[in-house]
Structure 1
């Protein structure tokens, strides 16, 4: 089929399940997770912006992570909710590849941010005297800018590669447009594209993952040499590494396995883990478990409580 005519067609997204009786439970699940994700991350952004004590590189990066997580989940969930409630399963050709671009950009930006945050923790714990020099404002902005530009090119590359393929099938057994699923619908041999996935994905995915793991190994080694209490640091590291393990193991399973192991059911479930569950967990794991953030929450609540008491007292005086 001519590519120009092909671009006028649309794909059909079957969602997580084709069973009508699961439509309401799935809608409730996606809506609940999305609300939790947005509210949790907005709360983090409000706390960081309103509390001067949180204006540090670590919390600046956490604020950026919150923005990226909201964007990441917004790429897929609103479209899925619309399909579930309207039963309109179609997505335009151009809309599908716009979704791919945004998904690759936001998802990999999430990964790179976790690596930059690991560098921040390494500098704070292992190089405390040089922390301000290592994690200066200029360094943070430079790392974020470099990541954004690099990943924009990477996402553009995948958008071009997949959008120029000829497609014989237009039914996607998934709840969003994902590259491995689309490659299976192509009329031509996609072994070359799969090799590019493996090579490009190895660099973009594995480098941040190995950097994060290496940073935490150095952090744990440094903490073991200290005489101070280690329980708090180990608890924080273990929770961070749990999220990192879930995030990267699900991505590796999805993108780096042999094509013979592809499974429609497993692919859907695994995609939910790294595209929805992990971004929702991030604000709770990385921020709300932090002592300074909890103190900031208490301070805000105490201020609200005092303001409320003052308002009530003024109201009583007026009466």
Structure 2
């Protein structure tokens, strides 16, 4: 999506040539393959652990909760989790930030339409910030019995709250929704002054 925004803002006349259906399919397939192999590496390392104690997980079955339940030494798997978080998470965030750096530089060069161009990218950047912020927290901090509450909150945020917020975040680009929100805000302020 960041590359799509980059092409749309920085090369608008070449957008249809660059963002061909073939490229879109390649990007989606590439994302699935990278995600599959990242998960496969963690799964193979997780299968080496022994679980001899309690086997109840009181929320989502994320890797940090499984590491706490293991009676094996989990240092190596925690290191793998951290390295995969750096490789996939931080690299993705870095690529997105670089593309938005180019987008911002291009937008600042134009004289009119800046607000519309920034508005086009703001919803994606907001969703990415929420998703990667909570995801990197889950993947990159060490797992302990004391951190399970934070892990649970971050997991719920990452798997439930963000997907629920995405339609709202992306709908804020819609002019009718913005106008309705402004109208509601004015109506609320007007009724507040009369009461």
TM range (shorter): 0.7 to 0.9
- 1:284 corresponds to: 168
Corresponding position: 1:125 with 2:9: yes
The structure having more radius of gyration, on CA atoms, is 1
Q: Deviations over 1:39-69 (max 9, x none)?
A: xxxxxxxxxxxxxxxxxxxxxxxxxxxxxxx
Q: What is the root-mean-square deviation in Å for CA atoms of aligned residues?
A: 2.3
Which sections of structure 2, spanning at least 5 residues, go unmatched?
178-195
Q: Deviations over 1:192-245 (max 9, x none)?
A: 111111112211111211111211121122111111132233334333322222
Corresponding position: 1:141 with 2:25: yes
Could you tell me how far apart the structure 2 residues matched to 1:244 and 1:267 are? 19
Tell me how far 1:289 sits from its aligned partner: 3.1
Q: Structure 1 residues 279, 137: CA separation in 2 closer, same or farther (over 3 Å shift)?
A: same
Corresponding position: 1:247 with 2:131: yes
Tell me how far 1:181 sits from its aligned partner: 1.0
Q: Which runs of 4+ in 1 moved over 6 A?
A: none
Tell me how far 1:176 sits from its aligned partner: 1.8
Could you tell me how far apart the structure 1 residues matched to 2:162 and 2:57 are? 22
- 1:175 corresponds to: 59
Deviates more, 1:224-233 or 1:186-195: 224-233
- 2:181 corresponds to: none
Q: Structure 1 residues 127, 236: CA separation in 2 closer, same or farther (over 3 Å shift)?
A: closer
Q: Deviations over 1:260-315 (max 9, x none)?
A: 695222211111111111112222323x2344998xxxxxxxxxxxxxxxxxxxxx
Could you tell me how far apart the structure 2 residues matched to 1:266 and 1:173 are? 14
Which sections of structure 1, spanning at least 5 residues, go unmatched?
1-116, 295-319
- 2:87 corresponds to: 203
- 1:189-228 maps to which residues of 2 (within 5 A)? 189-228=73-112
Native 8 Å contact 2:85 2:136 kept in 1: no
Could you tell me how far apart the structure 2 residues matched to 1:125 and 1:211 are? 16
Could you tell me how far apart the structure 2 residues matched to 1:128 and 1:261 are? 51
Native 8 Å contact 2:108 2:114 kept in 1: yes
SS state of the match for residue 69, structure 2? Answer: coil
What TM-score do you get using the length of structure 2 for normalisation?
Answer: 0.80
Q: Structure 1 residues 292, 133: CA separation in 2 closer, same or farther (over 3 Å shift)?
A: farther
